[in-house]
Amino acid sequence: MRGSGAASRLPPKRGENINGLALYAVLYLLFLYGPVLLLPLFSFNDSIFITFPLTGFTTRWYAAMAAVGDMHVALGNSLKVAFTAALASTVVGLMAARALVRGIPGRTFFAGFSNLPLLIPDIVLGISLLVLLTRLALPLSLGAVVLGHFVLCLPFSIGVLMSRLEGFDVSLEEASRDLGETAWGTFRRVTFPLVLPAIIASLLLAFVVSFDDFLIAFFLCGTDTTLPVYIWGELRFPYKLPNLLALGASILVVSTVVIATAEWLRRSRPVALAVPA
């Protein structure tokens, strides 16, 4: 009896813990992403109503989506804003990440302060930027949206670039400087090739964050509509819903590919590149 009581108090085996965690992870992912997976499913449904059972398979909603001129304008605006915000946040994020990793005074404070936009709700950030631009008498336009998205994307860029720079061998830069290379030459020939995967990952991640943002663009875009703002406006018309489902499914696929590529690049090993003189 004493032996059986001791056996009953033994901790569960390692395999049982792993199986339980795997089951929990699968259920969590299904709960989180299950509704999102319904988006492409209904985009092929031959009906304007989002109901089961599906009435048939069709691709006409994708053809109708591609023929909408206003959507093309909004898409072009979003692409311009996202590219500009991603480029600006990556350039500034690279300089900030390098300074933080090199151990500037107050590193912990500045590292936490750089993540502040991630902790502020987007609606609060959007209203704050709207008030600031109004006080400065600056017009609401795509340029204002770029400014807001730069603030939003910068913490993502700093985080991605810091993760690469923290594993960077500083002795490579020191060896380059000892051999007579300038600071800019050391960055161009040594640092830049080694952190290039993180730079590309930062560009892709910031691009997706800016492209998908609605709240900040809603407050700052003025009459220049971005794609998320265009989608929100079209939701008022039920007969346009199938076209929006097709558009949303397309964005979902492209965003997933871009994010997966960015994560793969972030985790990839540095590759030495030959930089011409």
Note the pLDDT tens digit of each residue in 105-117.
766 767 777 777 8
- Positions of the chain with pLDDT lower than 70, given as ranges: 1-18, 47, 50-51, 54, 103, 106-107, 109, 167-171, 173-174, 178, 183, 265-277
pLDDT at 84: 94
Is residue 245 a contact partner of residue 51, using CB atoms and an 8 Å limit? Answer: no
Q: Are 195 and 179 in contact (CB under 8 A)?
A: no
Q: Which residues are bridge partners to 57 per DSSP?
A: 45
Spatial separation of the C-alpha atoms in residues 243 and 86, rounded to whole Å: 28
3-state secondary structure 132-193: HHHHCCCCCCHHHHHHHHHHHHHHHHHHHHHHHHCCCCHHHHHHHHHCCCCHHHHHHHHHHH
Q: What is the DSSP string of 12-30?
A: PPHHHHHHHHHHHHHHHHH
Burial 33-60 (b: 16+ CB within 10 A, else e): eeeeeebeebbbbeeeeeeeeeeeeeee
User: What global pTM score does this model have?
Assistant: 0.73
Question: What pLDDT does 14 receive?
Answer: 54
Residue 213 backbone phi and psi in degrees, to 5:
-70, 140
Mapped onto helix, strand or coil, the DSSP state of residue 120 is coil
Contact present, 152 and 216 (Cβ < 8 Å): yes
Rounded Cα–Cα distance for residues 201 and 153 (Å): 13
Rounded distance between C-alpha atoms, residue 123 and residue 145, angstroms: 14
- Choose among 145, 161, 237, 232: nearest CA to 194: 161
- C-alpha to C-alpha distance for 215 and 124, rounded to whole angstroms: 9
Residue 25 has which token pair? 């992870």
**Token output for 145:** 């949206």
Q: 35 vs 41, 199, 230, 247, CA distance in Å?
A: 10, 32, 22, 16
Return d(Cα 83, Cα 164) in angstroms, integer: 22
Task: Give the model's pLDDT for residue 272.
Answer: 46
Q: How many CA atoms lie within 13 A of 189 on its CB side?
A: 16
Q: What is the C-alpha separation between 231 and 221, in angstroms, rounded? A: 14
Class of domain 61-267: mainly alpha
* Distance separating alpha carbons of residues 262 and 214, to the nearest angstrom: 22
